[in-house]
């Protein structure tokens, strides 16, 4: 297995800078680089082909904010970028796709306003969406993880599948940014109960062994953030 094709590095953006949060807490912010393009180029130079770009300002504001960062990365690298954070309207999806994203990442909207989400999928095509399921104890959390729902992750994914969506990523909130390993058992259950999905693991992967375990259970990718920035997974090892 080529781990370079398996790993999707994450770049989280606040004020145009590359940052990481712990468990989604904006107060626990670490700035890793003032220039996201430098970071993206390091990934590309190492043989990485995908990038997970998160507009944290947009997620907070409820509208796309850092699309210029996306445009810069899409113009100056060949990375296939998925972009999320604040995508709520057809105009937002248009902005993101026109700025160079391969996929528009949607999370809360699909949970809270399924009719609007369904209309966006019908308008732009299911192949342009990457759906994020943020989970606490198998149930969805939305609005930057501030709001817990009673919707089981399996039911949510199977509902989205009815719209033709196949690409999902799932984050176990308790694991995110904590460097304690991923929720491999949860992902295995999702793959069992939601046949036919292309599942990307997100959050918690800290070592090469974590990545190999995720690959073995059938995840197609793993989004990795802090482990790359803190050096517990080295690009050269991939």
Per-residue pLDDT of the chain (238 residues; tens, 9 = 90+): 578 999 999 999 999 999 987 767 788 788 888 899 999 999 999 999 999 999 999 988 999 999 999 999 999 999 999 999 999 999 999 999 999 999 999 998 999 999 999 999 999 999 999 999 999 999 998 876 678 899 999 999 999 999 999 999 999 888 766 678 999 999 999 999 999 999 999 989 999 999 999 999 999 999 999 899 989 999 998 8
pLDDT score of 226: 86
Q: Number of helices and strands (H, E) in the chain? A: 11, 12
Give CA–CA dist 181/46, Å, rounded.
23
Cα–Cα distance for residue pair 217/236, rounded to 1 Å = 24
Q: Is 45 a catalytic residue?
A: no
The CA distance from 222 to 203, in Å, is 8
Beta bridge partners of 33: 18
Q: Count other C-beta atoms under 10 Å from residue 26's C-beta.
A: 13
* CATH number of the 3-237 domain: 3.20.20.70
The strand pair at 147-152 and 103-106 is best described as unpaired
**Looking at residue 235, what DSSP letter applies?**
G
Whether 172 is catalytic is: no
Catalytic position from the list 55, 82, 92, 134: 134
Does residue 101 contact residue 64 with C-beta atoms inside 8 Å? no
């Amino acid at each position: 297995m080529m781990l370079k094709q398996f790993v999707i590095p994450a770049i989280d953006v606040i004020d145009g800078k590359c940052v990481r949060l712990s468990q989604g807490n904006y107060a626990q912010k670490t700035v890793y680089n003032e220039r996201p393009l430098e970071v993206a180029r390091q990934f590309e130079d190492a043989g990485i082909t995908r990038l997970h770009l998160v507009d944290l300002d947009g997620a907070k504001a409820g509208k796309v904010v850092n699309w210029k960062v996306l445009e810069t990365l899409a113009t100056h690298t060949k990375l296939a970028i998925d972009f999320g954070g604040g995508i709520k309207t057809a105009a937002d999806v248009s902005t993101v796709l026109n700025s160079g994203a391969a996929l528009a990442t949607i999370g809360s909207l699909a949970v809270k306003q399924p009719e609007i989400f369904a209309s966006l999928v019908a308008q732009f095509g299911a192949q342009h969406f990457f759906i994020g399921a943020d989970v606490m104890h198998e149930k969805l959390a939305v609005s930057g993880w501030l709001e817990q729902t009673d919707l089981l992750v399996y039911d949510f994914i199977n509902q989205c599948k009815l719209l033709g969506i196949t690409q999902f990523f799932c984050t176990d909130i308790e694991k995110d940014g904590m460097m304690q390993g991923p929720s491999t058992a949860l992902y295995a259950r999702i793959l069992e109960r939601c046949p036919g999905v292309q599942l990307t693991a997100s959050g918690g992967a800290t070592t090469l062994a974590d990545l190999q375990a995720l690959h073995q259970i059938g995840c197609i990718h793993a989004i990795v953030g802090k482990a790359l920035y803190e050096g517990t997974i080295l690009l050269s090892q991939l």
